[in-house]
């Protein structure tokens, strides 16, 4: 099904609406007249930032910001996006690549930045209590050769205006289209300790810097590299009163490698259920990797007791 069928069309239900813009580059997701998310599926992104779809702006149901776009320290960070930092020498994360043998901090700019290319929507539906986007993509190496086919599903659901909550389920199936195996890793698998960022990555607003991290079985710095079912950051907003909580679930992976958290807030706030934190995934030709995660966005700051209750309620 071609995505052009959906251009400039509104799909509406009692709670959710999805609108494709006139240029065929992004979808606006709206709940109760608040645009909670914009899914940019054909981004205007420099090659060195590894062009890929992303969700930004992201907002709570009150309209408060819960993401950041192209921060000065990492221009390739854009709200919530699916990434991969090391794929058999290619970089689908953005920026320089980590090499343990390189001088200084080990990061080297190379002409190895790949891109994720939108190929069409199979489903765009807002049926009242939820909205679903099913998309086909290709992951092209810096040479232009397609290395991975992807089917991606985004399900927006559980909007509760009284409680100020909405949730996003993100599922992906990545298939190796090469004739050689692909090695899917991270900076940690290439020699940098506690730098296992790869996969679905959320970068929080600058106001959340230093905010407390609460997780299943861990807190603060101990969350990094842990295998808990969920992790959350709760912070206060700039400019407007109040705060918000972002709760993420590690979810599931079809690989034998365990999902581990890349999560911190001292340098900047982020949550990333990494599928290859400190162990590579070998994806054979024709083999498929399936991942499923959930993010819940809450319109108030919360302590461990409150987050635990929400984690129990929204558990995958």
Rounded to an integer, what is the distance from CA 241 to the centroid of its chain? Answer: 26
Number of domains in the chain: 1
pLDDT at 128: 83
- pLDDT, residue 89, reads 97
What DSSP character marks residue 161? T
The pLDDT assigned to 3 comes to 35
Taking the C-alpha atoms of residue 2 and residue 114, their distance in angstroms, rounded to an integer, is 24
Consecutive H or E run containing 169: strand 165-176
Instruction: Report pLDDT digits (tens) over 88-122.
Output: 999 999 999 999 988 888 999 999 999 999 999 99
- For residue 60, the SS3 value is coil
CATH code for the domain in which residue 164 is found: 2.70.98
User: Which pLDDT value is given to residue 105?
Assistant: 81
Domain span at 207: 3-314
DSSP state of 183: E
pLDDT in tens, the chain (316 residues): 333 333 334 443 348 999 999 899 999 999 988 999 999 999 999 999 999 999 999 999 999 999 999 999 999 999 999 999 999 999 999 999 999 988 888 999 999 999 999 999 999 998 789 999 999 999 999 999 999 999 999 999 999 999 999 999 999 999 999 999 999 999 999 999 999 999 999 999 999 999 999 999 999 999 999 999 999 999 999 999 999 999 999 999 999 999 999 999 999 999 999 999 999 999 999 999 999 999 999 999 999 999 999 999 999 8
What gap in Å lies between CA 50 and CA 91, rounded to an integer?
Answer: 7
Close Cβ partners of 22 (under 8 Å, ≥ 6 residues apart): 7, 8
Look at residue 15 in the predicted model and tell me its pLDDT: 81
Three-state SS at 208: helix
Cis peptide before 57 (omega within 30 of 0): yes
């Amino acid at each position: 099904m071609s995505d052009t069928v959906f251009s400039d069309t509104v799909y509406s239900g009692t709670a959710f609406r999805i609108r494709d813009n006139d240029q065929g580059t992004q979808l606006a997701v709206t709940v109760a007249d608040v645009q909670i998310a914009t899914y940019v599926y054909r981004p205007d992104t420099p090659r060195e930032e590894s062009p890929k779809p992303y969700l930004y702006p992201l907002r709570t149901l009150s309209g408060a910001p819960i993401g950041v776009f192209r921060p000065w320290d990492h221009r390739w960070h854009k709200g919530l996006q699916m990434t991969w930092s090391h794929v058999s020498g290619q970089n689908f994360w953005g920026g320089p690549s980590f090499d343990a043998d390189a001088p200084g901090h080990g990061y080297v700019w190379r002409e190895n930045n790949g891109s994720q290319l939108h190929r069409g929507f199979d489903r765009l539906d807002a049926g009242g209590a939820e909205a679903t986007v099913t998309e086909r993509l290709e992951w092209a190496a810096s040479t232009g050769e397609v290395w991975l086919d992807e089917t991606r599903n985004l399900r927006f659901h559980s909007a509760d205006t009284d409680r100020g909550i909405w949730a996003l389920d993100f599922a992906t199936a990545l298939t190796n289209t090469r004739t050689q195996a692909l090695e899917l890793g991270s900076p940690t698998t290439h020699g940098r300790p506690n730098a296992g960022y790869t996969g679905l990555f959320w970068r929080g607003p600058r106001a959340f810097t230093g905010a407390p991290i609460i997780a299943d079985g861990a807190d603060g710095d101990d969350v990094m590299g842990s295998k808990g079912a969920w992790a959350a950051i709760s912070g206060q907003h700039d400019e407007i009163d109040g705060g918000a909580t972002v709760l993420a679930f590690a979810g599931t992976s079809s690989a034998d490698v365990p999902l581990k958290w890349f999560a911190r807030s001292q340098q900047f706030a982020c949550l990333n259920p990494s599928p290859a934190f400190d162990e590579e995934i070998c994806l054979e030709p024709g083999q498929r990797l399936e991942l499923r995660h959930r993010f819940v966005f809450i319109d108030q700051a919360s302590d461990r007791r409150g987050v635990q209750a929400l984690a129990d309620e929204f558990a995958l």
